[in-house]
Structure formats: C-alpha cells, structure tokens
Amino acid sequence: MEGTKTVGRLEGKVIFLTGAGAGIAKATALSCVREGAKVALFELNEEAGAGAEKQIRAAGGSALFVHTDVTDDDSVREAVAKTVQHFGRLDVIFNCAGGSSQEDHPVHEMDLEVWHKTIALNLLHPFLTCRHGIPHLIKAGGGSIINVTSHLGLVGSIKPAYAATKGGIISFTKTLAAQYVQYGIRANAIAPGSIRTERQISRYESKDYIEKPSTAARERAMFQKLYPFSKGEPDDIASIAVFLASDESRMLTGTTIAADGGRSSYLKVYSE
C-alpha cells in the first residue's frame, strides 16, 4: 500500500545467539536480522563465526562475531560485555549451542568425561549466558530468553547425558520465568524434532548412511513415517524463535514449544 512503511517485528532489538556459526542459530540470526534486529554471534569455530558475520553484513544486516566458548565463564562474560559495548543494549538471549556425543552410552558404561562435557555445553552454557546477560535485560526494562532443548528432553531417550541436559533446560527455563517476571523478562524454550542442518544432512543423508542401513537408520525412517511433521528445516525453528523474541508472544513465559511434529505428544502404533 502506498505510504505504508513495513516495520520489522524485532526492530531496535539486540540479540545474542550462541552457536551462531551454523545450523539453527545461524538461520535464526538471519531471520532476526530480516526483522530489524542487531545480532551478536557467539561461536567457538572462528571460520564459521566470521563466515556468518560476513553473510549477514553482505545482506545489509548488523552483525558482530564474538569468538566465544560458551562453557567458559570468563569467555561468556567478555562476549556479553563486547555485545553491549558494540550495540549499546541487550534485549534477547538465544541459547542454542549444544549437541550430543556418539559416546553418550548407557549410564553404567559411560565415560565420566562425556557426562561432564555434555553438561558443560548443554546446561552450564545457558546458566552462564543468563548469569551475565540478565543484568543487561533488567537494565533494558525487560527482555526475552529463548533456550533450545529437544523433543528428547520431553520424553527421555537412550542418550542419558543428552536427555538429562535437555530435560534440565526445560526446568531451568521455568525457573527463569518465575525468578525474573518482576523485571519484565520472559523465558521460553523450543524443543525441535529432527532439523536438517548442514551437520544432520552430511550425516543422515550421506550415500553411506542410506546405502548401508543400520538399525538406527531403520528406526529413524520408521519415526519419520509415523510423524511426518517431525522433520524440518532450520528456518522452521527460526520462525518460532522470532515469535518468542518479539512482543507478539508477550503472554508466553515458562513454556516449551515442542516443534517435533507430535513426537512428544502422542504414541502411534506402527502398522502397514
């Protein structure tokens, strides 16, 4: 319409995203910028972080790559300080870095190192970013915290360390909601199903994986048949994150949005 200026849904907001050199967080950073936000990319992999920054800047967006190890208290403190120094404020925290290990074996067989590393990346990390980020959200008069968990945090799985951390994120999110409501801060989580990130594609869509199917591959194919909406793209999660970052979601706090095509909601018996 003539004379109508489109205003982005995140206009003026400053957001930091962890693990933003790849996958879901990178897609979310791009979506947030399209909606008018300025983004700080906290990433351990220098090449990936610098690449994401370059891509966003080339598209006309405002991005700052901050080399960060989200499992290290000093590194997170410095990254948050650099973000606020650069952009002048902080409105949204998007905690996304994380993952599971192939060595996440049954409890009585697991190497303790695997347990500690998984806890550090998936659970200590959101604690550290909140610890250093929340004072700035309070200063800004409110904000939104978005934690990325997994459908496996809602139902449990055969990966004990991963399931424990992702379940922990859900309780931690509820606690953040309770603790910071008086500051106008909301906290919510997203529980993705199977997302076609670069990492997932190279693993599950490789010729090798498809041509030599294992029990795990067969189970994966069966789940996708039973829950066809459970497989998505990074942009599917980015859309939910934009909604949670924006004031459109102002009635939501303490909740977990299960973006898993029903996998944590109902059990479907397989029959052909």
AA letter at 122: N
Out of 39, 195, 241, 257, the residue judged to bind ligand NAD by CB under 6 A? 195
CA 123/CA 191 separation, integer angstroms: 14
Out of 33, 39, 40, 48, the residue judged to bind ligand NAD by CB under 6 A? 48
Out of 9, 13, 14, 23, the residue judged to bind ligand NAD by CB under 6 A? 23
Question: In angstroms, what is the minimal distance from the CB of 55 to ligand NAD?
Answer: 13
* Residues with Cβ within 8 Å of residue 176, at least 6 apart in sequence: 130, 145, 185, 187
Does 148 interact with ligand NAD (rule: CB under 6 A)?
A: yes
Helix axes 112-119, 160-180, angle to 10 degrees: 30
Does 17 interact with ligand NAD (rule: CB under 6 A)?
A: no
Name the nearest CA neighbour of 143 among 208, 89, 204, 63: 89
Out of 13, 33, 43, 223, the residue judged to bind ligand NAD by CB under 6 A? 43
Q: Binding segment for ligand NAD among 15-23, 129-137, 174-182, 212-220 (CB under 6 A)? A: 15-23
Q: Give the residue at shortest CB distance from ligand NAD.
A: 23
Sheet containing strand 14-18, edge to edge, reads 63-67, 38-43, 14-18, 92-95, 143-148, 185-192, 256-259
Out of 10, 14, 15, 24, the residue judged to bind ligand NAD by CB under 6 A? 24
Out of 69, 132, 177, 186, the residue judged to bind ligand NAD by CB under 6 A? 69
Q: Binding segment for ligand NAD among 91-99, 181-189, 201-209, 216-224 (CB under 6 A)? A: 91-99
- Choosing from 162, 204, 209, 270, the catalytic residue is 162
Q: Are 167 and 250 in contact (CB under 8 A)?
A: no
Phi/psi for 104 (5° steps) reads: -80, 70
Q: How are beta strands 194-195 and 92-95 bridged, if at all?
A: unpaired
- Which helix H or strand E contains 143, and what residues bound it? strand 143-148
Query: Is 162 annotated as catalytic?
Result: yes
What residues are labeled active site? 162
Q: Contact positions toward ligand NAD, by CB under 6 A?
A: 18-19, 21-24, 42-45, 48, 68-71, 96-99, 121, 148, 150, 192, 194-195, 197, 199-200
